[in-house]
Chains A and B, each alone.
Chain A
Amino acid sequence: AQSVTQLGSHVSVSEGALVLLRCNYSSSVPPYLFWYVQYPNQGLQLLLKYTSAATLVKGINGFEAEFKKSETSFHLTKPSAHMSDAAEYFCAVIEGGSEKLVFGKGTKLTVNP
């Protein structure tokens, strides 16, 4: 069964610093991978998704992620953190043969001034 592991439940960066949120997946078939963001007291919003086209995927708010099959990874990056990026980020994979998402446990990003 497909699954995702997010390394680090909490990540703290300074404003202007690089943001790197890690996600590794487990899948026996080429996966479809997603990153969602959740701001406090809100629902989830799609940041970006990988659907087997380009391996470097650009999303909203300056985020991007690179699909690396050899490393089974789909890490999320942003070159320069902004205070408004403080949120919880979820990596997810489509369960094979279905249209269901399997989520990681999330990484809470704190941005310090």
Chain B
Amino acid sequence: DAEITQSPRHKITETGRQVTLACHQTWNHNNMFWYRQDLGHGLRLIHYSYGVQDTNKGEVSDGYSVSRSNTEDLPLTLESAASSQTSVYFCASSSTGSTDTQYFGPGTRLTVL
């Protein structure tokens, strides 16, 4: 069965370190998205991609970057982790089209000390 996976599921890091969160999907979807979930804010879009070599900034992109070298993967990098980036991160993917369902991964809980 097709799926979307994230790794690691839990990560503790220190302020200033570079961190990369992995997202891998086997749906063969063109679209991939990264969100962060914080209490009282719901889900906010960090970055998204509509295809290989395409990346775009979302609502809360400062301090984050992504790259899309193939269809299956969209890694999220925190260049220099900050305590404000402590959050739960979700990756999602969808096929092309505004009505297509976004399928979510299980999430990565990141703690920055």
Q: State in angstroms the CA–CA spacing of A102 and B100 once bound together.
A: 14
A101 adjacent to B102 (CB under 8 Å): yes
A103 adjacent to B104 (CB under 8 Å): no
* Binary contact readout A27-63 vs B (1 if CB under 8 angstroms, 0 otherwise): 0000010101000011111100101000000000000
B106 adjacent to A43 (CB under 8 Å): yes
Q: State in angstroms the CA–CA spacing of A103 and B37 once bound together.
A: 11
* Binary contact readout B22-54 vs A (1 if CB under 8 angstroms, 0 otherwise): 000000000101010000111111001010000
Interface range for A? 20 to 34
Q: State in angstroms the CA–CA spacing of A69 and B99 once bound together.
A: 18
Please judge, given known A-B contacts A100-B48, A103-B42, whether A44 and B97 are in contact too, CB under 8 Å.
no
- We find that the number of chain B residues with CB closer than 8 angstroms to chain A is 27
B99 adjacent to A51 (CB under 8 Å): yes
A100 adjacent to B33 (CB under 8 Å): yes
From A45, A46, A101, A105, B41 is in contact (CB under 8 Å) with: A105
> Could you say which residues of chain B place their CB within 8 Å of the CB of A41?
107
**Nearest CB to that of B44 among chain A residues?**
A103
| Among B48, B96, B98, residue most surrounded by chain A Cβ atoms (within 10 Å) | B98
| Among B42, B100, B102, B104, residue most surrounded by chain A Cβ atoms (within 10 Å) | B42
Q: Does A99 contact B (CB under 8 A)?
A: yes
B41 adjacent to A94 (CB under 8 Å): no
Q: Which of B73-100 contact A (CB under 8 A)?
A: 90, 92, 94, 96-100
Q: Does B58 contact A (CB under 8 A)?
A: yes
CB pairs A–B below 8 angstroms (10 shown): A9-B40, A36-B104, A43-B90, A43-B105, A43-B106, A44-B92, A46-B102, A90-B42, A100-B48, A106-B42
